[in-house]
Structure 1
Amino acid sequence: MDSQGYHYLIDIECKSPHLNNEKILKDNFNNILNESEFNIVGFLDKKFAGEGGVTGVFLLSESHLSYHTYPENNYISIDLYTCGKDPTKEDLNKIKSIFNPITNLNISRVKRGINGNTFKTT
């Protein structure tokens, strides 16, 4: 099995009304993952009281996608980690399209795994 992994940390500041709607978040991420041919094996989410945010986790056979929303700060944090399959730019654009209008965006990509990485002990 290929141990190479791709870890995307996506921070989005936006004016999206979806940040506290667990159904819309789940449905949108579910559609994107299916369209991108990821294999969903489980899902769990938690809607916090009142106008609170939502935390959701898709368990993928390739690894996971998780998100945490902070509607009071117009912010969502998304963590996408995949083994062996690097998400395409189109996959990332689909994720971004859920949260228009975006006022600030940061995407970090970390290659993980044994292949191509140097491990250091501290």
Structure 2
Amino acid sequence: MVEGWFTGRRLGDYITGTRCDYVGARRIINGTDRADRVAEIAGEYEDALTPAPDYPYLRRGSRGTAVAQLQARLAILGAGIEVDGVFGNETHRALIAFQKVHELKSDGIAGPKTWATLMTETEE
């Protein structure tokens, strides 16, 4: 799997430090047999093993310093949003765009995986 002996595709073609395509990775061994269910189980394990950062879940309607931090980090990455500490429509759209680019669940909620990716992308 790691070196691609079975199919010519390596596990690293599907799973990296920032991207997990569990359905694609399933093809390395068993084609697409029950790939959706295996991907669901893998996602559940990943969620359970992902440490929650010291940042709260944020969504549309949230307010405060954590929202301003979220907005500032999105702005660093090019989102043209105002850093005002209010999670409104602009912040929601910017967050969804960020999540899509980084192949995260595009739900507009800043949870552990979104925060972890955002922090990694904006480290100085």
TM over 0.5: no
Structure 2 length normalisation: TM-score? 0.29
Structure 1 length normalisation: TM-score? 0.29
Give 1 or 2 for the bigger CA radius of gyration.
2
Query: Which of the two has greater helix per residue?
Result: 2
Higher relative contact order (CA 8 A, sep 6+): 1
Query: Which of the two has greater strand per residue?
Result: 1
